[in-house]
Structure formats: structure tokens, C-alpha cells
Amino acid sequence: MTADARDESGLSPGAELKERMRQALSAKGWRQADLRRALELQGLHLGKGTLSQALNPDGGIPQPDTLRKIARALKAADAELARWTELRSEAVGESRHRPLPAGYIDAVVRAARELPYPGVVPGNIPPPLADVYLRQDAHLQRHPGESALQAYEVLESVEEIADLDADCVVVAGPGGGKSSLLRSLASAAAQRWRDGSGCQVPAYLQGADLVPRRPLREALAAAVTADLSPNGLPEVLPSTVFGAAPAPGARWLILVDGLD
């Protein structure tokens, strides 16, 4: 499908991306279940819900990792994957037409600069987290219970955790840097959103914020407002903010700290 044909058809970049992926699936005579089996046979873990959303015309924009895995399972040409990636970038850019609450991303960036436990650093004014943060090695275990050789793979950077298109639990001992890792992920996601290279909007909260019995979106709104208000968030977030995606084709990256 050429750029001109796309313009004439009126398809948005996100819609064209989904159409091309479904065409690649159809060309092999496969259904979604066949693709899922091919992924499993190649050791390319992708959740059933994630795969369904990636191919669904009404679903969100797939993450780069998801596109790569689907292309590999379908044996798509490098040029086709490059086109998928280009369309994804265009779709992410379009998603910014719906603004987030005023000052939200700026407040996230400021909050993520703070040390999770400022009292552990001597002095009256603790340094920004980025000044003392050391790169952390992260190993991904996709299937708990398997041997270490089978189950683990090294992540090139901790930011890859946010690109996995799956729910993750970060495990480490006391003082292992879990809180620092989550703050760093919040900062990275916010910076990506700000510069147009990402489609995830971070929301950081404590596990204790989820204890009171109330709708999840109300808990998120109250907790995130409390976290960001000291960092310049100019208004109380209504629960409706978390009742839908932060923007068309985007998604919330919920970071829950203090679960141990």
C-alpha cells in the first residue's frame, strides 16, 4: 500500500498499521491462534491480550517489542517491519492532539528527580536521583519455576521493562533499588512522551494507596495527585482521567511501589 493510496483511503497511520499486520497474517493463511502458536514455538512470549490488542483495529498502538515479535513470527521482510515502525511513530505523534491535564508531565519529571528515601543521604538538600543513581542490571524471568538458564534473559537497560507489553513485578532484596528503579522508569517514560518517542504516560503510587476499598481510578487519582501536587501539579486530578487512555493510541504506565 503506497502513501498515496493510504491518503486516498483516509486511513490514519494507526489504522494502516493494523491493516498491514492483518494482511500479513492473512497472506500466510493464519488466524490469530496460529500466530500465537508460532510465537510460542519461536520462544517469543507475547500475552494473548497483548496480541489481540495489537491486531484489533480498535486496540492501542503496539509497543516496538510487540511489532518486532509479530514480524519475526510472520517472517515479514525487513522493509515491511520498517514500514510498521514508521506508521507506529506517526500514530504516536497523532496521539498528542488530546492534551493531558495541565502540567502533568512536568510534575512527573520533577517528582522523579527526588530520592525515594532522601533521609539516607547526609546534608540538608539531597541531590537529584539522577546524580546518584547507578545503572542497574535487570534480568527478565518470563516463566517462574523454570531453571535460571531457561527462564532468564538480560535486559540491555531497565527502560526495556516498560516496553515489554506485559504486567511485571520487580523483585529485589531490601535496599536493592526497587523504588529508585520505578522512579527512573517514570522519568524515562515522561521524557519519551515529552520528546514524542513514547506512548506511555507514567503514574506512580504506593501499594498502600490501593488498600482502601474504592474504584481503582479513584485510588489512582488520589494517589497521583498527592504525589505530584508538591511538584507543581496545579489541580486535583479527577478520577475520570484514569477511566480512559491518556490519549488516543497511548496507555498509562502504572508504577506501584512498596509492595514488599
pLDDT single digits (tens) 156-198: 566 666 666 667 777 777 766 788 788 888 888 888 888 877 7
| Final residue before a domain boundary, out of 62, 97, 132 | 97
**What's the mean pLDDT in 222-226?**
94
Say yes or no: 136 and 232 in one domain.
yes
Tell me the pLDDT band of 102, cut-offs 50, 70 and 90.
confident
The mean-pLDDT minimum among 95-99, 137-141, 242-246 falls in 95-99
The mean-pLDDT minimum among 76-90, 159-173, 238-252 falls in 159-173
pLDDT score, position 3: 38
Say yes or no: 111 and 84 in one domain.
no
pLDDT score, position 158: 61
Q: What is the pTM of this model?
A: 0.57
Say yes or no: 115 and 241 in one domain.
yes
C-alpha span between 138 and 172 (Å, rounded): 10
Say yes or no: 28 and 84 in one domain.
yes
Query: What's the chain's average pLDDT?
Result: 78
* CATH classification at residue 32: 1.10.260
Number of domains composing the chain: 2
Structure-block grid coordinates of residue 49:
491480550
Model pLDDT for residues 3-57, shown as the tens digit of each residue: 333 444 578 888 899 999 999 999 999 999 999 999 989 988 887 778 888 898 8
| Final residue before a domain boundary, out of 65, 97, 129 | 97
- Contact call for residues 153 and 65 (beta carbons, < 8 A): no
1 pLDDT more than 50: no
Domain of residue 32 covers: 3-97
pLDDT score, position 138: 60
Say yes or no: 167 and 229 in one domain.
yes
**What's the mean pLDDT in 132-143?**
58
C-alpha span between 24 and 70 (Å, rounded): 10
pLDDT score, position 90: 83
- Contact call for residues 108 and 193 (beta carbons, < 8 A): no
Q: In terms of C-beta distances under 8 Å and separation of at least 24 residues, what long-range contacts does 186-194 make, across chains too?
A: 186/108, 186/111, 186/112, 186/253, 186/255, 187/108, 187/109, 187/112, 187/113, 187/129, 187/130, 188/159, 188/162, 189/162, 189/253, 190/105, 190/108, 190/109, 190/112, 191/109, 193/105, 193/250, 194/105, 194/109
Say yes or no: 119 and 206 in one domain.
yes
More confident residue, 79 or 92: 79
Say yes or no: 42 and 147 in one domain.
no
Say yes or no: 92 and 118 in one domain.
no
| Final residue before a domain boundary, out of 76, 97, 118 | 97
Say yes or no: 79 and 117 in one domain.
no
Radius of gyration of the chain (CA): 20
Say yes or no: 126 and 225 in one domain.
yes
Chain centre to alpha carbon of residue 47 = 14
Say yes or no: 143 and 187 in one domain.
yes
Say yes or no: 125 and 241 in one domain.
yes
